[in-house]
Homo-oligomer: A and B are copies of this chain.
Amino acid sequence: MQLGMIGLGKMGYNLVLNLLDHKHDVVATDVNKEQVSKITADGAKGVESIKALVENLSTPRIVWMMVPAGDITESVIAELKADLEPGDIVIDGGNSNYKDTVRRAEELKEKGINYVDVGTSGGTDGARNGACTMIGGDADVFATIEPIFKDLSIENGYLYTGKVGSGHFLKMVHNGIEYGMMQAIAEGFEVLEKSQFDYDYEAVAKMWNHGSVIRSWLMELTQSAFSKDPKLDEIRGVMHASGEGKWTVEAALDLQVPAPVIALSLMMRNRSLEDDTFTGKVVAALRNEFGGHAVVKK
C-alpha cells in the first residue's frame, strides 16, 4: 500500500525500513533533512514538508505520525487537519495519552478524517524487524489498513482493540505492567546483591530464562545488561520515566483500581531522581525532637 510517514526518529525510521521490506510505497518527511536524505537513499520518497507529503499521496491518504507525544503531535495534527480531505486516515503511532487521542479523533471527525491510534511495543528492534502493535479506531477503517499492521508486526503480534483510544490505552497499561515487572526484577537483584551469597548475575538471569516461572524478555535483557557490566558498576541507579506509567497510575486512581505495585514502581523512580529528600529531613528532624536521635549534618 501507499503510506506517508511523518517522523524519522529511531522508531519512525525503522518502521519505514520495515515497510519497504514488505514492498510498501512510502512517502516520508522529518524536520531533520539529513534523515529525509537517508530514507530516500533507502528507497522511500523523501519530501520536505507535511504539505508535500500530503500532495504526494493518492486519496484516500494514509498518514502515519511517529513524532513525540504532546505539543508536537498536537501541531502536526493541526496541520494535517488543514491539509487532508474527508476519507483520509491519520495514524498516531506514538505514545499519546488516550484522552488526547479520543479528543483528537473527534476533532478530525468533524472534517470527515479518520483517526487510528496505535500503541507500538518491542523497541527499535521490533520496529525494524517485527513490532507488537495494538490498534484502536473504527473497525472498517482498520480493515482497509490491516495489511500494513500484518506486515509491520511479528507474527500474531498485532491486535485490533476496539474504538479509538483503546490502542493507546492498552499500550499505556502495557507500560504500567512493564514498570512493575522491571521494579520486581530489580528489587530481587538488590536483595541478592546485599545478601551473604555471591552470585554471578548474568548466569542467574540466563538460568532463570531457561525453564523458570519468571523467564521473560525483560529477564533476557537483564542477562544482556549483566553480560556487558557484571555488577553494573559503570552506571548510576537513576530511573527516568517517560509518562505512560504516570498515566496508568492516574487512570487507576480515576477508575478506583488499587494498583500499588505500578504506583510504587513509579514512585521509586521519582525517588531515584532525588539526591536527598525533604521527606527524609522532616522525619530525621522529628526523630531528633522526640528522642534526641542524632541527625546527619550536611
Contact = CB atoms under 8 A, between A and B. Distances in A.
A190 B268 contact: no
Interface stretch (A57-65, A70-78, A138-146, A180-188): A180-188
Task: Among A187, A248, A287, find the residue whose CB has the most chain B CB atoms closer than 10 A.
Answer: A187
B162 A259 contact: no
A293 interface: yes
A229 B281 CA distance: 11
A170 B204 contact: yes
Copies of this chain in its oligomeric complex = 4
Contact of A235 (B215, B266, B295): B295
A94 B261 CA distance: 28
Contacts of A195: 169, 251, 255
Interface string A92-120: 00000000000000000000000000000
A221 to B, nearest CB: 4
A177 interface: yes
Interface stretch (A25-33, A40-48, A82-90, A270-278): A270-278
A95 B206 CA distance: 21
A229 B285 contact: yes
A192 to B, nearest CB: 6
A132 B279 contact: no
Contacts of A197: 136, 161-163, 165-166, 169-170
B238 A296 contact: yes
A287 to B, nearest CB: 7
Given A194-B255, A249-B253, 11 more contacts: A156-B209, A165-B196, A170-B192, A177-B187, A188-B248, A214-B216, A236-B284, A237-B276, A239-B283, A240-B284, A261-B261
